[in-house]
Amino acid sequence: MASNAELVELTNQYLIANYGRLPIAMVRGEGARIWDADEKEYLDFFPGFGAGGIAGHCHPDIANAVAEQAELLMCAGNLFTNPAQVELARALAEKGFGGKTFFCHSGAEANEAARKLARLYAGPGRYKIISFNGCFHGRTMGALSLTPEKYHKGFEPMLPGNVKVDYMDLAAVTAAVDDETAGIIVEPIQGEGGVNVPTVEYMQGLRALCDEHKIALISDEVWTSPARTGKWFAYQHYDIEPDIMTLGKALGGGAPVEVMPLIGRISRRQQRRLGVRLSGHGLPPRACYSRRTSNRMSRPSARSEFVSVSGGARRRTVSCVQLMSRPFSRQRAKTSLPGPSSSMPTIMPLPRTALIRSPEWI
């Protein structure tokens, strides 16, 4: 196998430099550990921008399910029923708010679909989407338009109808809603802008505001779900249900599996109009591995096997149960949390922490 230096040189020769890559070529992983082309071993605290999920690298259940499905059927298109899609969608509905699911390939595409569906749901003349300073929803043009201005340079003009207000400022959101507003998109815990955790009252206020104006509440959970905060979905900490939710990254355990579940009150006609405008293949049958892993992790015996690696250089290891039983108080750089309050949900936001299996598997 080529060395780190050789692979980095080839990368510079053949790949666009759209990322500030480190001069390291990662070639294999297991649990919370990862190895480069020179066989140097690392403890991974940053599993693929969160795409590694809570199972770690190359979990045997995931790897085996992918291999089994690859021998059966890789892709059949959306004109046929896909058993793996059906099973994964059913698992998401049972663990979430019911409704139906739209499959796609990236978190940005899921947010694009959510934006379109919010406009369809709100009706003619209502096209504005409210997002928040410090958010991140993707780099495609529609999702980028919802994201802060620092990401816009060189790509202007953005799509019309984007309104940004401060996170955790319910009065500002209320003032921003008008007769042209179609929806509000919110991260239940902000990641890119720091680990910003809203209060229960704030999230419930957004829900009430959307109900009052008959607009869609979109919960962007590409970073927070599934099962990365102590519940399957982060919105469940706030005793609300969104109209639309977007999922990705950890759901696929490293493969491109992104979905957009939507609540039942969004009509079948609106769903069909969305479907003819997006995603030629949706999610191929290999999605089954996420469903199998999700089902396995939903068992109490499996949940107790997972631990969190945190604590920086000390490599402090604590159990998920310990983490979820106390409020999150430790802050890292760029972290912004409200002060102690009974309204704060007891959650542990982990957008950049590897969750792995028990130590004997590391």
The domains found in the chain, sorted by start residue, are 1-43 (no CATH), 64-296 (3.40.640.10)
pLDDT at 296: 53
DSSP 50-75: TTTGGG-BT-HHHHHHHHHHHHH-S-
353 sits in the region (left: phi over 0; alpha: psi -120 to 50; else beta) called: beta
Q: Is 13 helix (H, G, I), strand (E, B) or coil?
A: helix
Strand partners for 28 = 35
Task: Report the C-alpha gap between 26 and 49 in whole angstroms.
Answer: 14
Q: What is the CA radius of gyration of the chain?
A: 20
225 sits in the region (left: phi over 0; alpha: psi -120 to 50; else beta) called: beta
Task: Dig out the tokens for 291 from the structure.
Answer: 């469903």
pLDDT at 319: 29
Chain segment 288-325, per-residue pLDDT in tens: 554 555 455 455 444 433 333 322 222 232 322 233 33
Per-residue pLDDT band for 193 (boundaries 50, 70, 90) equals: confident
Inform me whether the pLDDT recorded for 54 exceeds 80.
Answer: no
Q: How distant is the alpha carbon of residue 76 from its chain centre?
A: 26
Residues that are catalytic: 136, 220, 249
Mean pLDDT within 27-35: 92
| CB-based contact 184:218 (threshold 8 Å) | yes
User: Which position has the higher pLDDT, 187 or 74?
Assistant: 187
Per-residue pLDDT band for 350 (boundaries 50, 70, 90) equals: very low
0.75 exceeded by pTM: yes
Q: Is 356 helix (H, G, I), strand (E, B) or coil?
A: strand
138 sits in the region (left: phi over 0; alpha: psi -120 to 50; else beta) called: left
pLDDT at 315: 29
State how far the alpha carbon of 100 is from the alpha carbons of 65, 103, 207, 219, in Å: 24, 10, 20, 15
**If 0-12 CB within 10 Å is exposed, 13-18 middle and 19+ buried, where does residue 361 land?**
middle
For the chain, strand residue ranges (E) read 26-30, 33-36, 41-43, 100-104, 128-132, 162-165, 181-186, 216-220, 244-246, 258-262, 307-310, 316-319, 355-356
Task: Report the C-alpha gap between 330 and 184 in whole angstroms.
Answer: 30
